[in-house]
Structure 1
Amino acid sequence: VEYSFLQVNFNVSLRFLSVNVRGANIPHKRTSILFFLRSKAIDFAFIQESHLLKQHNNWLANKHYRVLASSTATSKSKGVAILAKRRLRFDFLGE
């Protein structure tokens, strides 16, 4: 049996951020959060205490970021979301 190996080195740098936003219901606050993520070149953001209802989870998405996953409560409290840059190419093995 013969084996051929190709070694490729990639210099990949990803930036992750975990942040408690203490509520993201106010449009100006959502805009500020997304602007901050972009200004710091964050690739993946783990948002805590979003306080968004289930039907409003996409409020954290814009042309630069998408919501990969989220979890909410029945009231405007708690809530988490995972955001990723739209330009990143990867296979999401979720639902």
Structure 2
Amino acid sequence: MPDQPSSARGAATHQRIIDAATQEFAQYGIAGARIERIIAAARTNKAQLYGYFGNKERLFDAIFFASLERITNVVPIDVEDLADWAVRLYDEYLARPD
């Protein structure tokens, strides 16, 4: 199981990796995303990235599941008005295409 950050510096590095990887995956997809670009943008190294996430697929999974959690919190499903929910969901994805 990948390690979790145990210090403030580690948490900051972890967040920089998440932010850089989110942009990388949004722009290139999982197949086109490159670890080298992610670590350069995050100002870290491969050992740190792999230590926190294990591999590129697990990094993608972490970002994907965090995105799903965020979107369900920002745009909760309203079963009484699915049309309005769909519009709000669409608007949120326009605002945050990543």
Shared fold (TM-score, shorter chain, > 0.5): no
TM-score, scaled relative to structure 1:
0.28
TM-score, scaled relative to structure 2:
0.27
Higher strand proportion (structure 1 or 2): 1
Higher helix proportion (structure 1 or 2): 2
Structure number, greater radius of gyration? 1
